[in-house]
């Protein structure tokens, strides 16, 4: 976590023009404005928790708090039921409710689409935690601000992106349920997925315009826990 804080302090603005992604990020680095997003295919997710463990190992979040979780839905009544897993994380919203809620202006959206928190400014006030409709944020009491703690959440593994690596959860997923990429890129697997007309986002009625999109489980009536 200290490493991450140092990164936020020293490298955040340098990340504004970060290039990357797909399975071979550095090889596909191109000039231009990138906007990062993730597509999660619920037909592929087996609920194995590898992404949760990898994220915890990478980001060392405080005990019992996670940057990503897997929601479990039992669709139907046993024995006539199906278990559907839905990985969730910060949506890096285009209209993030958390950003205007912060009186310290500590949280903001980078031009590459990633919503970040500057821990040098964060005072642990917690208004952003309350404002997020997805419960994506939490306070880490190990780092005391003026009001007690620092607010943490997924940052798409910003320090890994800088090194040309994929987010830890994406790399860890054996089922390839998580696809990460540039929403503005014209081709590639991520781009092909983006063209699908059946992609869904969590709580569209909140009008936050999430950048995590889902392919629902086609064998489930509800499709997932959005």
Per-residue interface string for the shown chain with ligand SF4, residues 188-217, x marking contact by CB under 6 A: --------------------x---------
Binds ligand SF4 (CB under 6 A): choice among 169, 173, 194, 216: 169
Binds ligand SF4 (CB under 6 A): choice among 48, 62, 83, 97: 97
Q: What is the 3-state secondary structure (H, E, C) of 38-91?
A: EEEECCCCCCCCHHHHHHHHHHCCCCCCCCEEEEEEEEEECCEEEEEEEEEECC
Closest to ligand SF4 by CB, 83 vs 101, is 101
The least CB distance from residue 163 to ligand SF4, in Å, is 13
Tokens 């890994």 sit at which residue? 160
Nearest of 208, 217, 54 to residue 136 by alpha carbon: 208
Pairing outcome for strands 212-215 and 36-41: parallel
Binds ligand SF4 (CB under 6 A): choice among 4, 34, 150, 153: 153
The least CB distance from residue 147 to ligand SF4, in Å, is 18
d(CA 115, CA 154): 9
d(CA 200, CA 69): 18
**Beta pairing partners, 77:** 80
The least CB distance from residue 76 to ligand SF4, in Å, is 29
The least CB distance from residue 209 to ligand SF4, in Å, is 9
Binds ligand SF4 (CB under 6 A): choice among 42, 106, 157, 179: 157
Binding to ligand SF4 (CB under 6 A): which residues in 133-152?
134, 136-137
Tokens 């020293």 sit at which residue? 10
The least CB distance from residue 75 to ligand SF4, in Å, is 24
Rg (CA), the chain: 17
The least CB distance from residue 120 to ligand SF4, in Å, is 19
Return the structure tokens found at 49.
Answer: 């928790």
d(CA 44, CA 38): 14
Closest to ligand SF4 by CB, 83 vs 97, is 97
Residues engaged in binding ligand SF4 (CB under 6 A): 54-55, 58-59, 67-68, 89-93, 96-98, 115, 132, 134, 136-137, 153-157, 167-169, 208
């Amino acid at each position: 976590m200290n490493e991450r804080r140092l990164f936020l302090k020293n490298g955040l603005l340098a990340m504004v023009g970060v290039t990357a992604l797909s399975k071979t990020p550095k090889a596909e680095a191109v000039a231009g404005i990138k906007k990062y997003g993730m597509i999660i295919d619920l037909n592929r997710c087996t609920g194995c928790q590898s992404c949760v463990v990898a994220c915890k190992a990478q980001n060392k979040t405080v005990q019992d708090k996670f940057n990503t979780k897997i929601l479990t839905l039992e669709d139907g009544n046993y024995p006539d039921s199906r278990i559907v897993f839905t990985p969730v994380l910060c949506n890096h919203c285009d209209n993030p409710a958390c950003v205007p809620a912060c009186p310290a202006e500590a949280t903001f959206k980078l031009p590459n689409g990633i919503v970040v928190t500057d821990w040098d400014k964060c005072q642990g006030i917690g208004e952003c935690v309350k404002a997020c409709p997805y419960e994506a944020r939490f306070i880490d009491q190990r780092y005391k601000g003026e009001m007690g703690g620092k607010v943490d959440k997924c940052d798409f593994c910003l320090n890994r992106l800088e090194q040309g690596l994929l987010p830890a959860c994406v790399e860890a997923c054996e089922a390839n349920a998580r696809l990460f990429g540039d929403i503005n890129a014209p081709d590639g697997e991520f781009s092909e997925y983006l063209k699908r007309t059946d992609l869904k986002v969590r709580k569209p009625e909140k009008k936050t315009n999430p950048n995590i999109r889902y392919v629902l489980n086609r064998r489930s009536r509800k499709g997932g826990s959005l």
